[in-house]
Amino acid sequence: MSCSIPQSCFRKLARNTVRPSQLPIFLAPAFSPSQRPQCFSTTSPAQSRVGGAAISVPPEVSLKFVDLPQAQIRGRGKEIPKTAVEIKGPLGELTLNIPSFVNVAHDEAARKASLSVEDSTIAHQRAMWGTTRAHLQNHILGVSEGHICILSLVGVGYRASVESTATTVEPEYPGQQFVSLKVGYSHPIELPIPQGVKASTPQPTRILLEGVEKSVVTKFAAEIREWRIPEPYKGKGIFVNGETIKLKAKKIR
């Protein structure tokens, strides 16, 4: 026997304001006032305000603002950067293009740099606010102290070395070195070290990458890791900067 109710009955019930006490028992939950769902967190939601935080500029680092030439591109005039910041330090020099809607204020006396946007209600400007600040802070840290990545090779017979020549890869610039990996393949794995990155092997199972630009260092570390991504059964692979992995339970047949 079907217990479905015709749609006309639902229309009448929806049209007429009825009390839950006047409804049948099986229809009372459907017409009860909706309760507000409770969140797991007890704290009120708040957006990050990291974009407005000031950046400390070390005494040995200098910032120079340069106006960029403007090109007429239809439909993308607001996205073209108008200003670039040249960051100079003891380890090198980097340049960062600043979006047109982001303003950078540099206080040389207080050694502070702060960023602001034209309209914080626009989602794209809010997103680029924190992103631009992170890039500027990474550049300042890179030219003053540098960025490092430590790769650990975990596995039987896994080894790494830095070679001045390679048999499978051609050098891209004079004096380029190569990272040679032995991670279980029958063929040699030789990766050219990008310009601006210094690689060394303090131990046969450790690779130390140093560089001024963080994106270049971390990208090269990711390329090395791709040859042996950590697997969750035996815990073997190439781990970056203290990376950990949760091992899975062994299957017993």
Domain of 115, in residue numbers: 55-68+79-145
Does residue 110 sit in the same domain as residue 183? no
- In a shared domain, residues 114 and 165: no
Please check whether residues 137 and 158 belong to one and the same domain. no
* 15 within a domain of the structure (yes/no): no
Whether residues 99 and 64 fall in one domain = yes
Residue 202 pLDDT class (50, 70, 90 cuts): very high
Whether 140 and 193 share a structural domain: no
For the stretch 144-195, pLDDT in tens is 999 999 999 999 999 999 999 999 999 999 999 999 999 999 988 999 999 9
Q: Which of 101, 96, 100 is nearest to 65 (CA)?
A: 96
Same domain, yes or no, for 124 and 170?
A: no
Answer yes or no: are the C-beta atoms of 87 and 97 closer than 8 Å: no
**154 and 235 inside one domain:** yes
The span from the CA of 166 to the CA of 176, in Å, is 10
Please give the pLDDT value at position 49.
76
Task: Check whether residue 168 and residue 235 sit in a common domain.
Answer: yes
Same domain, 127 and 173: no
- Average pLDDT of 87-93? 95
Contacts of 32 (CB under 8 A, 6+ apart): 20
Q: Is the pLDDT of residue 143 over 70?
A: yes
Spatial contact of 163 and 85, defined as CB atoms under 8 Å apart: no
pLDDT bucket at 130, cuts 50 / 70 / 90: very high
pLDDT, position 120? 86
Please indicate, yes or no, whether residues 113 and 159 belong to a single structural domain of this protein: no
Give me the pLDDT at residue 33, please.
56
Please indicate whether residue 251 or residue 114 has the higher confidence score (pLDDT): 114
pLDDT per residue as tens digits for the range 35-52: 555 566 666 666 667 888
91 plus 165 within the same structural domain: no
Query: From the CB of residue 220, how many other CB atoms can be counted at a distance below 10 Å?
Result: 23
At 242 the pLDDT is 87
User: Can you give the CATH number for the domain in which 222 is found?
Assistant: 3.90.930.12
Question: Which one of 145, 169, 193 terminates a domain?
Answer: 145
Determine what percent of the chain is predicted with pLDDT higher than 70.
Answer: 77
Whether residues 228 and 152 share a domain: the answer is: yes
Q: What is the pLDDT of residue 246?
A: 92
Q: d(Cα 104, Cα 88) in Å, to the nearest integer?
A: 17
**Could you tell me if residue 19 is inside a domain?**
no
Calculate the average pLDDT of the chain.
85
Residue 78 confidence (pLDDT):
61
So what's the pLDDT on residue 50?
84
Tell which wins on pLDDT, 23 or 204.
204
152/160 Cα distance (integer angstroms): 10
- The per-residue pLDDT for 114 is 93
133 φ, ψ to 5°? -65, -40
pTM of the model: 0.76
User: Which of 145, 168, 187 marks a domain boundary?
Assistant: 145
- Domain boundary (145, 173, 191) is at 145
- Specify if 37 maps to a domain: no
